[in-house]
Amino acid sequence: MTENLLIIYGAFFIAALVFSLIINRFLLKFAKTLGIRNSGETIIRWSATSKPSLGGISFYIVFLFSVILISFIFPDGTVFFNLQSLGILGVVTLGFLLGLFDDAWNTKPWIKFFTQMICGVFLIVTGTYIQIFESNLFNYLLTLFWVVGMMNSINMLDNMDGITAIVSFAIAVTIFTGILLRNELQNPILVIILGLMAVLIAFLYYNWNPSKMYMGDTGSQFLGVLLALLGIIFFWNGEGFSIDSTPLMRFITVAIIFALPIIDTTTVFYKRIAKGGSPFVGGKDHTTHHLSYLGLSDRSVALVFTGISILSLAFTIIFTQFISKWALIHHIILVAYFIILFGFLFIVGNMNKRLSQ
């Protein structure tokens, strides 16, 4: 059974990768104005060139293929088609549709926020929520904050070629590696992770600087809600640990693996609110932009974020899979890493005054 699963997973990964490359090529060839959003005054892009924001379409198509494959691997329906799994399918679909509508019509911020809240509520009602406090009320509130925050963080991080795809890929690889090390090949989420990694590699082929296409809100909202729920399952609730984990261990691990979107969003919110502006109005004031202002090319900034993502990935895998029991020193190492990373990016993000108009 294990050998057959490996063959199926390998074939699916290759098929998803090839399909994603082809569908993105197809979308680029036939795209004219669909998905191109650089003309409105409320939409601020780093690039001065309009490009199709269609990458997120392939994300969702491959996700649906993943669901179909799961139904074939586990045909009795007990593994995937239950209330919790249907809730996951529903919120990912809702996140995709939210992004699709936003790319097409530039929806109002309150509509996006309301829909993101619905995603969080739907996850809670169907059984996917953070379980870290004794009080479920606090668990529910933290879940809502996490889902809405991550959907906005991933969306805001999509501000320069390759950045969001790189960060998302690192998170996916971390979960994938953990599943393999724990020999959980019959975990249905492994199929979703394989599809996600394949589609992100294919997208990076077209999104690496100089990019030919963007993922748009269609892609960033999809990734935001998917990564949020994966974060709940594997990190917040401890399924991704090879040992028994305490709430503090889970909190620290979430901070490490999701460090880049958390730090970028926190930095941008702080600066915009301190200036008396709205944190939801776009600008060229992200940590990525400030690294560019210091003299790095867009490609070099992407490589910096790649290096940080790999380091965070390595820390997470080592501490969740290879350390049998966390001592005080392990907590100190990870907290120190996060503080140093946060401090570096926060300082970089505030040392240069060249911001968007």
Measure Cα distances from 292 to 156, 267, 288 in Å.
17, 16, 6
- pLDDT score for 248: 97
Tell whether the model's pLDDT for residue 41 goes beyond 50.
no
Cβ within 8 Å of residue 116, ≥6 positions away: 95, 98, 147, 148, 151, 152, 225
Q: How confident is the model at residue 80 (pLDDT cuts 50, 70, 90)?
A: low
Tell whether the model's pLDDT for residue 88 goes beyond 90.
yes
Mean pLDDT confidence for 2-11: 88
In terms of Cβ atoms closer than 10 Å to its own Cβ (0-12, 13-18, 19+), residue 41 is exposed
Which residues on neighbouring strands pair with residue 214, listed in sequence order? 53
Q: How confident is the model at residue 354 (pLDDT cuts 50, 70, 90)?
A: very low
Tell whether the model's pLDDT for residue 225 goes beyond 70.
yes
Nearest one of 162, 166, 176, 154 to 13, comparing CA atoms:
176
- pLDDT score for 31: 65
Query: Vertex 164, ends 160 and 165: CA angle to 5°?
Result: 115
Rounded-to-integer distance, Cα 163 and Cα 154, Å: 10
Mean pLDDT confidence for 188-193: 95
Tell whether the model's pLDDT for residue 11 goes beyond 60.
yes
**Could you give the angle at which helices 247-257 and 163-181 cross, rounded to 10 degrees?**
140
Say which amino acid occupies 187. N
SS3 per residue for 130-170: CCCCCCHHHHHHHHHHHHHHHHHHHHHHCCCCCHHHHHHHH
Q: Which of 4-13, 90-99, 110-119, 288-297 has the lowest mean pLDDT?
A: 288-297
Query: Vertex 171, ends 265 and 334: CA angle to 5°?
Result: 75
Q: pTM of the entire structure?
A: 0.91
Mean pLDDT confidence for 270-281: 78
Q: How confident is the model at residue 32 (pLDDT cuts 50, 70, 90)?
A: low
CB count within 10 Å of CB 63 equals 22
